């Protein structure tokens, strides 16, 4: 195009000099020819007949529906309902009754429910019945997200000074994660976009050997998380896969803070960053501290990462005062007085937002 303009301009100037050698201005006719050439060539694009200028069209993804509001009072009621059954120790009536209630809640929210039953051997050599409960939303979708929490409670208060051989209420350690996920479940049938969601309630997580509890004692480490260990070897769907998993464990205590758990950072750092970034955007940056702490030796996310290779994280409270879990942990103080709807809201809204934004 530029070359054409130069040629036209040069020809006009040459003729102009022959007609009026004493003038430095081209005649009006020459000016008209130049302007005409500019107009014609600009309208022709590159001048090649085999090329057509195509306007650029900007493609935008359709807006996702707004994330539902997480109701902390509803989640609190779900925690209280579990505690009202009594300690959910496998093999007891409160355990059976609470499990039946959880199944009914999931079905009432629109989930397709699978109950996985079996038996496992405890650290003492005894056998316990196992009941993993899985609620699947939009099970026909190949892409999945896994949310999970354990629903059994500690059969003895080995960290307490009194009644050490009696089971605990487990309001936070067990109850809070289940309560949040049951509230999230109320909204999942409405999620018409993106991956389907599986909510897994694992059993016999908290029946591990008292010495070295959730620590690095190699002799006790495998006595924990028996329900998740069973599930990863016998998933409810053959060759089960998910984009990622989020485990909720001890997520309802008053003033709880959630540091980036070290094993989660080892196995699924991108998912940790996704969750913590979401929490900060929602205004919960004071709760979700962007600092890594090593304080969990084993939890349900470890078998999921190791065996199924699903990048999964543990959202679990860290108490700087104890440099581990809250002082209520594995004591009779783990009751409803520990639970705060404000904490349930921070965790529940964050997890719901992460799930809702997956497309």
Over residues 306-350, the pLDDT tens digits come to: 999 999 999 999 999 999 999 999 999 999 999 999 999 999 999
Q: What is the pLDDT of residues 54-72, one digit of tens each?
A: 666 665 666 888 999 999 9
* In-domain check, residue 59: no
Q: What is the pLDDT of residues 13-28, one digit of tens each?
A: 333 333 333 444 444 4
What distance in Å separates the CA atoms of residue 276 and residue 240, rounded to the nearest whole number?
26
Tell whether 346 and 201 lie within a shared domain.
Answer: yes
Tell whether 30 and 152 lie within a shared domain.
Answer: no
Residue in 329, 331, 248, 256 with CA at minimum distance from that of residue 78: 248
Q: What is the pLDDT of residues 92-113, one digit of tens each?
A: 999 999 999 999 999 999 999 9
Tell whether 24 and 156 lie within a shared domain.
Answer: no
Tell whether 22 and 124 lie within a shared domain.
Answer: no
Q: How much is the pTM?
A: 0.83
* In-domain check, residue 62: no
* In-domain check, residue 255: yes
For residue 195, pLDDT beyond 90: yes
* In-domain check, residue 235: yes
For residue 51, pLDDT beyond 90: no
Tell whether 114 and 224 lie within a shared domain.
Answer: yes
For residue 194, pLDDT beyond 60: yes
CB 172 within 8 A of CB 253: yes
Q: What is the pLDDT of residues 317-327, one digit of tens each?
A: 999 999 999 99
What distance in Å separates the CA atoms of residue 259 and residue 291, rounded to the nearest whole number?
6
Tell whether 83 and 24 lie within a shared domain.
Answer: no
How many domains does one find in the chain?
A: 2
For residue 35, pLDDT beyond 90: no
Whose structure tokens read 């050599």?
125
Residue in 252, 236, 240 with CA at minimum distance from that of residue 307: 240
Least confident of 61-70, 196-205, 217-226, 260-269: 217-226
Tell whether 8 and 113 lie within a shared domain.
Answer: no
What distance in Å separates the CA atoms of residue 283 and residue 287, rounded to the nearest whole number?
9
Tell whether 132 and 211 lie within a shared domain.
Answer: yes
Domain that holds residue 31: 2-43
* In-domain check, residue 18: yes
CATH at residue 93: 3.40.630.10
Token reading at 5? 């303009």
């Amino acid at each position: 195009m530029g070359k054409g303009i130069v040629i036209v301009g040069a020809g006009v100037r040459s003729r102009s000099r022959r007609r009026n050698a004493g003038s430095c201005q081209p005649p009006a006719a020459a000016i008209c020819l130049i302007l005409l050439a500019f107009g014609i060539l600009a309208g022709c694009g590159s001048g090649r007949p085999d090329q057509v200028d195509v306007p650029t069209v900007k493609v935008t993804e359709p807006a996702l529906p707004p994330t539902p509001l997480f109701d902390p009072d509803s989640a609190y009621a779900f925690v209280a309902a579990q505690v009202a059954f009594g300690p959910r120790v496998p093999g007891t009536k409160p355990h059976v009754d609470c499990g039946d209630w959880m199944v009914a809640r999931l079905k009432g929210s629109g989930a397709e429910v699978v109950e996985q039953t079996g038996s496992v051997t405890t650290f003492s050599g005894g056998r316990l019945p196992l009941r993993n409960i899985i609620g699947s939303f939009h099970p026909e979708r190949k892409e999945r997200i896994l949310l999970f929490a354990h629903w059994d409670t500690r059969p003895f208060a080995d960290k307490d000074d009194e009644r050490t051989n009696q089971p605990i209420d487990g309001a936070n350690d067990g109850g809070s994660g289940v309560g949040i996920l049951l509230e999230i479940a109320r909204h999942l049938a409405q999620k018409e976009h993106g991956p389907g969601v599986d909510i897994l309630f694992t059993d016999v997580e908290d029946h591990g050997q008292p010495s070295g509890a959730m620590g690095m004692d190699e002799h006790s480490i495998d006595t924990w998380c028996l329900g998740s260990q069973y599930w990863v070897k016998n998933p409810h769907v053959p060759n089960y896969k998910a984009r990622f998993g989020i485990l909720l464990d001890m997520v309802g205590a008053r003033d709880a803070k959630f540091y980036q758990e070290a094993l989660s950072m080892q196995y699924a750092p991108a998912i940790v960053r996704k969750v913590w970034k979401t929490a900060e955007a929602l205004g919960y940056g004071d709760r979700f501290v962007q600092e890594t702490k090593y304080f969990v030796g084993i939890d349900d996310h470890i078998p999921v990462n190791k065996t199924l290779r699903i990048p999964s994280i543990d959202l679990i409270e860290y108490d700087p005062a104890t440099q581990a879990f809250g002082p209520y942990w594995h004591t009779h103080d783990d009751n409803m007085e520990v639970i705060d709807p404000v904490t349930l809201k921070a965790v529940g809204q964050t997890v719901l937002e992460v799930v809702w934004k997956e497309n």
